[in-house]
Amino acid sequence: MKRQPASIFNDVIGPVMRGPSSSHTAAASRIGLLANQMVEGKLKKVLVEFHPKGSLATTYHGQGSDIGLVGGLLGYNTEDERLVKSISMAKELGLDVSFNIVEYEAHHPNTYRLKIFSHKEEISATAISTGGGMIKVENINGFPVEIAGDFNETLIFCSTNKSAQDVEKILEKENFQVEYIQKSSKEKEILINLKTLKAFDESLSIKLKEIEGVFSVIKLSPVLPVMSSKDLNVPFLTAGEMLEKYGDDKSLYELALLYESIRGKITEDEVYNKMKKIVEIMNDSVRKGLSGTEYEDRILGPQSHLIQEAMDNQKLLPGDLMNTVISYITSMMEVKSSMGVIVAAPTAGSCGGLPGTIIGACDVMQLSTDEMVKGMLASGMIGLFIAQSATFAAEVGGCQVECGTGSSMAAAGLVQLMGGSAKQGVDAAAMALQNVMGMVCDTVGDRVEVPCLGKNVMAGANAIACANMALAGFDKVIPLDETIESMYKVGQMLPSELRCTGKGGLAVTPTGIKIFEEMN
């Protein structure tokens, strides 16, 4: 199956979630939600194994992979308030979940190897968190699969070729609309994986189970907000293609509406309204952060109010826009660190830079909610190009792909707020991304707070500077698409110690080690 085109709401702006990290908490929750559906009967026990050289071996607790996965196993979605107490709730409900560091072959730093037991059966599965809350299940019971959570999935396990042929005959007779059929084999067994837009009727599932040689049928519901489908023909996949095809005939936010409506097979009004709801959540998070947050298990307490107080007392360098953006970014990060609801944009670790900058700028310039939504749509268009050609996982590419991407997106969004052209927005994004090339991820104390707060604030400041440079007509020199490609290559050159493992940078300073020991 060919790779599905990136989606603004799947890959870039979202999920709506709780927790310190989208790669860790939200992705783990989605993996848990799928694992929950893999067995019949009540879940009894789950063994979770991480590779010792992966990022999860050192960060799974501090960055919330444990609460996310257990929450998903209990059926909680990424924003459920019960996630915070999911581990204690699992114990109360009699679900035994253990986390172990085990040597095995793992090609990705965010690999989960699971053994799932119910009162009726046992299933093994391997899944990865690919960044920004996105996931992929790669193996079930020894069979290779490609499950990203964007289809209804039906997995039919057959013991003979004849039983597999009988399955295909029934599907042909029922004329059920199937987007993709994937087959894989293991020894003499065969797995037929059907990807559909609609869930299988129970009567059809029963017919399949009654076929001699069919020994298991698993049905999985999607966990992503936008479904995929066969033969999606999106209008462009790179900034260069977009500008060549449309020039400045459409603004960047209009191009985002066009792209996502085709990608999700929904109207442009539906795309706009989806983004409006997300902006409302972001706005609410900023206000909650400014009013003060409380949470024991974190390094930094509430600080966002200090900026406004200092502004009122004329203790800061002048610049209402910059100072408001700093305050708003900080407030968003504080809500995240206190397990409040935020939007990963493009990730939870970088959740402050984009919304804090766009919402802060709109408030200072007294722009409407409509303009705020347009700015966020324009930002999403830039993030989509990065999702398509690179990654949002700091475990793969360092913080340049998280806070750096947020800065790039925000720069384009600011250009949109000022009425700039699509080309100016793309140029601003290119300059912003060039300025953060090689930025490392070195979380202190295994918490997504330090130096994450400073990097989010830097992202906002960089976005403001680059938006103004593009609006003034500065030459970006290197095009956005080439910058994205280069950033991805640089990320792969970074040693693992500087990619969200807590084994390098500020995390291993004497103070960083002391904080880790105190927090754990």
Would you kindly state where each structural domain of the chain is located, as residue ranges? 151-221, 239-519
How many Cβ atoms sit within 10 Å of the Cβ of residue 5?
19
Tell me the pairing of strands 43-50 and 96-101: parallel
The token pair that represents 343 in the structure block: 């939007």
Categorize the per-residue pLDDT at 248 as very low, low, confident or very high, splitting at 50, 70 and 90: confident
Q: In what order do the strands lie in the sheet with 152-158?
A: 180-186, 189-196, 152-158, 214-220
Residues contacting residue 517 through CB under 8 Å, at least 6 positions apart: none
For residue 431, pLDDT over 90 is answered with: yes
Cis geometry, peptide bond prior to residue 451 (ω within 30 degrees of 0): yes
Question: 344-357: per-residue pLDDT in tens?
Answer: 999 999 999 999 99
pLDDT for the residue 7: 97
Instruction: Give domain 151-221's CATH superfamily.
Output: ACT domain (3.30.70.260)
112 phi/psi in degrees, rounded to 5 = -110, 125
Categorize the per-residue pLDDT at 520 as very low, low, confident or very high, splitting at 50, 70 and 90: confident
Tell me the pairing of strands 16-17 and 342-343: antiparallel
298-337 as b/e, with b when 16 or more CB fall inside 10 Å? bbeebebbebeeebeeeebeeeebbbbbbbbbbbbbbbbb
Q: Which of 444, 456, 460 is nearest to 510 (CA)?
A: 444
pLDDT for the residue 156: 96
Distance from the first to the final alpha carbon of the chain: 43
Question: 223-241: per-residue pLDDT in tens?
Answer: 999 999 998 899 999 999 9
Q: Give the lowest-confidence range in 19-23, 169-173, 358-362, 440-444.
A: 169-173
| CA distance to 141, 390, 499, per residue, from 395 (Å) | 27, 13, 5
Region 469-497 average pLDDT: 97
Beta strands of 304-353 (E only): which ranges? 342-343
Region 112-136 average pLDDT: 95
pLDDT for the residue 203: 86
Rounded-to-10 torsion of CA 136, 140, 146, 147: -60
pLDDT for the residue 94: 95
Region 460-484 average pLDDT: 98
Rg (CA), the chain: 23
Q: Which of 454, 455, 464, 447 is nearest to 502 (CA)?
A: 447
| CA distance to 245, 253, 254, 420, per residue, from 249 (Å) | 9, 12, 10, 12
Q: Rounded CA gap, 207 and 388, in Å?
A: 40
Q: Rounded CA gap, 219 and 365, in Å?
A: 50
- One DSSP character per residue, 214-279 reads EEEEEEE---SSS---TT---S-SSHHHHHHHHTTSS-HHHHHHHHHHHHHT--HHHHHHHHHHHH
Q: Rounded CA gap, 353 and 389, in Å?
A: 21
Question: 183-239: per-residue pLDDT in tens?
Answer: 999 888 999 999 999 998 888 888 888 999 999 999 999 999 999 999 889 999 999
For residue 2, pLDDT over 80 is answered with: no
pLDDT for the residue 200: 84
Q: Rounded CA gap, 503 and 500, in Å?
A: 8
